[in-house]
Amino acid sequence: KLSGKTNHFGRDVNTGAYIDYWATAMPDGKCLFLDFDGVLHPSFGRPGDFFGRMPLLEAALREVEVDIVISSSWRFHHAWADLLQRFPPSLKGRVRGRTGEPVTDSLARWHEIRQYRERHGVIGDWRALDDSAFEFPKGCAELVLCDAKTGMTERDVQVLRPWALAN
């Protein structure tokens, strides 16, 4: 039986079930599903390099209304408060949630995003900023693919920024 109380990883304290308690993305607004490894820092970066690409994300989303949903596997290993503190003040208030339980099929990340969108009625325009092409359908127009070796670059800002600015 669910207790209604979660531990700091978002799991029910009695059953261990994942509880999606933070689901306030605007249903018809723009939503960015954000990976961390290979995006906000190189996939195999050192801890001192973690989140070193955050200024580029800030630049891409400066002065626009775009919600952020964490789709990174960090959501399974870090407390919600820890995830939020990784964001600068300019972005922290836009972080609306995290995708749910992991999907182990092919196209896993795409299915996790689809499930989140269906569960929360997110019907607006969306993008996924990710480094794993194999987790999305071939030719997925919503995927902004980062190079895992470098993380997000100015090229990715140039792709995201026009989408974020468009009505």
Helix (H, G, I), strand (E, B) or coil at 87: coil
- Are the C-beta atoms of residues 25 and 65 closer than 8 Å to each other? no
pLDDT, residue 119, reads: 87
pLDDT, residue 12, reads: 57
Gap between the Cα atoms of 124 and 66, Å rounded? 10
pLDDT, residue 3, reads: 47
pLDDT, residue 14, reads: 62
pTM: 0.86
Strand partners, 68: 32, 95
The pLDDT tens digits along the chain (167 residues) read 544 455 545 555 566 655 554 445 555 789 999 999 999 999 987 888 899 999 999 999 999 999 999 999 999 888 888 999 999 999 998 998 899 888 988 999 999 999 999 888 877 899 999 999 999 999 999 999 999 999 999 999 999 999 999 97
Q: Among all chains, which residue has been given the structure tokens 């992991």?
A: 102
Gap between the Cα atoms of 73 and 103, Å rounded? 11
**DSSP characters over 90-131:** HHHTTEEEE--S---STTHHHHHHHHHHHHHT--S-EEEEES
